Amino acid sequence: MKASLPPSSHAVFHEVGTRATVYGDLGKLVLPDPWIPQGQRQASANSFEVLRYGMAPELIRIDPGKPVYALEAELFADTLSPTSSRHGPP
């Protein structure tokens, strides 16, 4: 016996997006892709906007030259002590 569901005629779709906005006393920061640069797993360049009340918007560009995961791996490796085994316990 095979179970099947009838096709749905109703659905709710909502574009959640990845944008984050941080509000402060002097303005706000708008981060279009706060978790993954440009929404691409292996991208390195990213940007965000600084919007100060009464001033022109300022676009800040960041490009460390390596994907986020490579930077995380390097940071983790840098935290290991020189006597730590990089291959696990014996």
Per-residue pLDDT tens, the chain, 90 aa: give them: 555 655 656 666 656 667 899 999 999 999 988 777 777 777 788 889 999 999 999 999 988 888 888 888 999 988 887 766 556 555
- Report residue 1 as tokens: 């016996």
Cα–Cα distance, 4 to 54 (Å, whole number): 59
pLDDT given for residue 18 in this prediction: 79
pLDDT given for residue 27 in this prediction: 96
- Report residue 12 as tokens: 């709710």
Domain ranges in the chain?
Answer: 20-79
Cα separations (Å) of 49 from 6, 61, 67, 69?
Answer: 46, 9, 21, 23
pLDDT given for residue 30 in this prediction: 94
Overall pTM surpassing 0.85 (yes/no): no
